Chains A and B, each alone.
Chain A
Amino acid sequence: MSDVIVVGETSVDEYCDVGLTPREMVDMLKQMLEIRRFEERVERLFLVEGELIGPCHLYLGQEAIAVGVIKALTNEDIVVSTYRGHGHALARGVSMEMLMGELYGREIGTCKGLGGSMHSAMYVKKNILMATAIVGSGIPIAAGIALGLKYKNSDNIVTCFFGDGAATTGAFHEGINMAAVLKLPVLYVCENNQYAYSLPFSKSFAAGNVAEFASGYGLRSYFVYGNDVISVYRASREAVEEVRKHKSPVFIECRTYRQKGHGVYDRALYRPKEEVDEWLRNDPVMKFSRRLVELGVLTEEELKNIDEDVKEKVEKAVEIARKAKVLEFGELFKYLYSSR
């Protein structure tokens, strides 16, 4: 990994040098908890209550990435998300009611119920311009958005999330190369959760890591420990600055772990138990909350209160979504074309 910048776990001692106030760090933890409790509730709504149906891809275990990367962006920067996008949306401040409403197929949803879980993160008012469910396809789209931003002499950049599965698609290679030759301001974030559905990373990708591959296309490239939100933030902040300054793409691979199956119904029994246990011991939410308590930024009591508030918020979102109405079928036709 000669050309790749490696960012490992950040020790508690280094936390004070990162440039985040205690308040900011607590807010980041709160966002991670929001994602965690939202996703846990969604999982139960599918598997226990059976109220939700259809494809749904949980973000559990990857919370540090959405929160760490998005913290390094401005609200005007554009985000391109995926079908595993609930975490991106919540980290961007999309309301839980709207997100849950989308999962329930209701008119109050981010996409009025026309997108469902896989497109629920697409919410233009929060500058998430796409949430695609075709693996890898967001990569060239992000290049196009960046072309537009550069063309308009904007200081804003695009951040494009995707998984390790995307790294083996043609769109990845075409898109990254295109962004590189045209010098487009995109931050590419590969959330390497180590499984492309059932296929482990070692069997799906010929190279040892994705970052090195991107480096081969001439991108400044980071390999980051993705279960530490502070490490993700540090790398992202530096990467974002690079993209903004040089108007060229930069790549971050965050090594993390998908704690659940590919989709909500997948029990993921194909994974070795020791591997799962090892990563669960390094759970990003647990890790960060313990550190903040250790650092004295937060008491156990306060942590408990935050968690209770978050759970209440999630429950309220469920109640609202349940009762919300579904769009009239006749309305559908007006969303097809802008002009006819």
Chain B
Amino acid sequence: MSRMITYAEALNEALREEMRRDENVIVFGEDVAVIGGAYRVTKGLLEEFGSRRVLDTPISEAAIVGMAVGAALIGLRPVAEIMYLDFLTLGMDQLVTHAAKARFMSGGQVKLPLVVRTQYSLGRVHASQHSQFLAPWFLNVPGLKVVLPSTPYDAKGLLKSSIRDDDPVLFIESGVLYSTKGQVPADEYLVPLGRADVKKTGDDVTIVAVSRTVIEALKAAEKLMEEGINAEVIDPRTINPMDWDTILNSVRKTNRLVVVDDGHKTGSISAEIAAKVVEEAFDSLEGPIIRVNSPDIPVPSSQPLEKTFMVSAEKIVEAVLKII
């Protein structure tokens, strides 16, 4: 049996189920307890699990992430919320230089089963300081796992796996997707980290898209169908580990690749995927790889301008038509 629930509700279920399952799972962050999170992802957790396991913290991102590192070192499975991905820059030292390094630099003495949940608000008219898609930065951080769900089903299954994972996980949600609905099984399930999902199969072109842009890629694929082009849409779901096999096999089949994500084009996730495909499957390519990204400027606040700035189904269609 499955139900239609929202992306935010799916995340909430994941947290509840894991907290019921494992006493060591605790949740803390700004405004997560009494009001249930700025976007209500932690709604009702305080009521069910009490203030021992669900804690409101001061506005102290470095201390929130640092506290997650400490709690993980002593055997808890903390899930820390950072309200906006932009704010994570304030906790960057703890995530990048501590969480991602402690196991390695100690010669494997410790494990750090922590999750930092956050969201990016591109598409919600939040201006330059609340809309940044900083996910590609973390491609350059060995030791960190990075998860970017695009559907309620994936959001729930991936969050559950992230909480059970013994390594630090950065779990990046998409703010505009919180209210989107999808089928989610009533029975328990997990989505493993490191496995891409083929959201739509096709033979003519591979479109790899991440997080919110998966939805745009699927819309684009529909439009392309009208023109007789059958696109395959792949959602890596986690960018570290990246499921290279699924991406490379698809390109070997379709011989064409368009890569899409919400980051600025320079140094984007798309750039990394394009480079890898050129390295490993150059002979399969029958045309250039096209990246579809935000331009290399901060996001404008004005709604029509933000819309023009963002990746859209139209831009993806245009990219595909360039190489077919």
Contact B69–A144 (Cβ < 8 Å): yes
Contact A141–B98 (Cβ < 8 Å): yes
Q: Report the nearest A residue to B73, measured CB to CB.
A: A129
- Could you jot down 26 A-B contacts, CB within 8 Å? A78-B74, A114-B104, A119-B105, A123-B109, A129-B73, A130-B102, A132-B98, A134-B97, A137-B62, A140-B62, A140-B66, A141-B66, A141-B98, A144-B66, A145-B74, A147-B67, A147-B76, A148-B70, A171-B63, A174-B62, A175-B66, A177-B63, A332-B104, A337-B103, A338-B111, A338-B167
List A residues 147-169 near B (Cβ within 8 Å): 147-149, 151-152, 158
Contact A144–B78 (Cβ < 8 Å): yes
Q: Which residues of B contact A112 (CB under 8 A)?
A: 107-108
- Binary CB contact string for chain B from 138 to 170 against chain A (1 if under 8 A, 0 otherwise): 000011010000000000000000000111000
A254 to chain B, nearest CB (A): 23
Q: Which of A110, A146, A335 contacts B103 (CB 8 A)?
A: A335
Q: Which of B107, B165, B194 contacts A335 (CB 8 A)?
A: B107
Contact B66–A148 (Cβ < 8 Å): no
A160 to chain B, nearest CB (A): 10
For residue A2, CB closer than 8 A to chain B, the reply is no
Q: Which residues of B contact A141 (CB under 8 A)?
A: 66-67, 69-70, 73, 94, 98
A230 to chain B, nearest CB (A): 31
Please provide the 10 A-B residue pairs with the shortest distance between their CB atoms, ordered closest to farther. A144-B70, A140-B66, A112-B107, A148-B74, A144-B67, A174-B63, A338-B166, A174-B60, A145-B70, A140-B63
Contact A122–B104 (Cβ < 8 Å): no
Given contact pairs A145-B73, A181-B58, A111 touches B93 in the complex (Cβ within 8 A): no
Number of interface residues of A (CB under 8 A): 47
Bound-complex Cα distance A123 to B102 (A): 12
Contact A119–B106 (Cβ < 8 Å): yes
For residue A113, CB closer than 8 A to chain B, the reply is yes
List B residues 269-309 near A (Cβ within 8 Å): none
A280 to chain B, nearest CB (A): 34
- Binary CB contact string for chain A from 277 to 294 against chain B (1 if under 8 A, 0 otherwise): 000000000000000000
Number of interface residues of B (CB under 8 A): 46
**Which residues from chain A sit less than 8 Å from chain B, CB to CB?**
78, 109-115, 119, 122-124, 129-130, 132, 134, 137, 139-149, 151-152, 158, 170-171, 174-175, 177-178, 181-182, 332, 334-340
For residue B41, CB closer than 8 A to chain A, the reply is no
Q: Which residues of A contact B74 (CB under 8 A)?
A: 78, 129, 144-145, 148-149, 152
B122 to chain A, nearest CB (A): 27
Q: Which residues of A contact B44 (CB under 8 A)?
A: none
B63 to chain A, nearest CB (A): 4
Contact A115–B70 (Cβ < 8 Å): no
Q: Which residues of B contact A171 (CB under 8 A)?
A: 62-63, 66, 93
